[in-house]
Structure 1
């Protein structure tokens, strides 16, 4: 089991990053919360990881904090929730907000997340009540957005749209979420603003 990676951040293209650990490049999929907490490309990075082994692939998921990984592991134990949906939940809602939805039986709030319908929301509320690990303290600070590294010019709007689609949003919905946002912002900033707009709406 690979539990943690310490190395140099080689690539950052949401929702994927590549981390160089002693000459080996590990491709890691991460939530937007973790991506926003990462340093710039070329800098040192440390991520908690979860390795998912399937018949056709070994998938590595990365998290900025142990508490986020604990929530991810709790989520994938819920019937019908796989790693992709768990990442979408972590990307679209902060841990404290998720806890409030569970505690308040707020299934409507959870259905705003991509891939979460009414039945899934109700299942999350029922099954997650007894699965809050030690990270449940709402005073636990959440990661803040880090400065972005400098690199070649990119179409940040297109990258943000692709990242939202990979999280489970439809292309038309992703485009609508990004409409009227400043395209000069970084990809991470665009994603964060789009997700905030989606949850508020």
Structure 2
């Protein structure tokens, strides 16, 4: 297993990053929490990783904390939860909050997450409650305060992030525009994606 990558951050988006390590560029799928806590492009960065192996492809998933990675690994061990869905779930809610939902058996909170129906929520509680109890107190990194981006870029980046997570582009655009209007165009990229995931 590749435990972590440390190198120069070459590219970042809300769902992916590219880090160059000794002349080799690695593409890593990331959660929104990881994206929020990355440094600037061109700077040195360290990303904890999980390598997902399939017959036809190897995919890296990246995290900023051990506890988020551990929760991701528990999620993909549950029936019906693949790495892409786990990435969406951990981009919809903070890891500490998801841990609490599972421990407290909060079905309504779990089913409010994108891609989680009642049966999946029940399986998460049944299969993961004891496992997530053993995770140390969830690491909490401070959110970065970012300048508001121009509204067009904000919409484009949000829609691109949502479509890369598997959502229909037209549906994503409609939801994003609705949220932007609702917030009078004053919303960060991270918050816009989070709210969109809750409405798709």
TM-score when scaled to structure 1? 0.83
Kept in 1, the 8 Å contact 2:30–2:61? The answer is yes
Question: Pairwise CA RMSD of aligned residues?
Answer: 2.5
Give, in whole Å, the separation in 2 of the partners of 1:26 and 1:183.
34
Q: 2:30 matched to 1:13?
A: no
Equivalent pairs, count? 191
Correspondences of 1:32-181 after superposition (within 5 Å): 32-132=32-132, 134-137=134-137, 140-146=138-144, 155-171=153-169, 172-173=171-172, 175-177=174-176, 178-180=179-181, 181=183
Give, in whole Å, the separation in 2 of the partners of 1:120 and 1:93.
16
Structure 2 gap ranges (5+): none
Structure of greater relative contact order (alpha carbons < 8 Å, 6+ residues apart): 1
Residue 183 of structure 1: how far off its partner (Å): 6.0
SS where residue 72 of structure 2 aligns?
A: helix
Equivalent position of 2:28 in the other structure: 28
Kept in 1, the 8 Å contact 2:52–2:59? The answer is yes
Kept in 2, the 8 Å contact 1:164–1:174? The answer is no
Change (3 A) 1:173 1:78: same
Structure 1 gap ranges (5+): none
SS where residue 77 of structure 2 aligns?
A: coil
Give, in whole Å, the separation in 2 of the partners of 1:173 and 1:97.
25
TM-score when scaled to structure 2? 0.84
Kept in 1, the 8 Å contact 2:103–2:132? The answer is no
Change (3 A) 1:18 1:148: farther
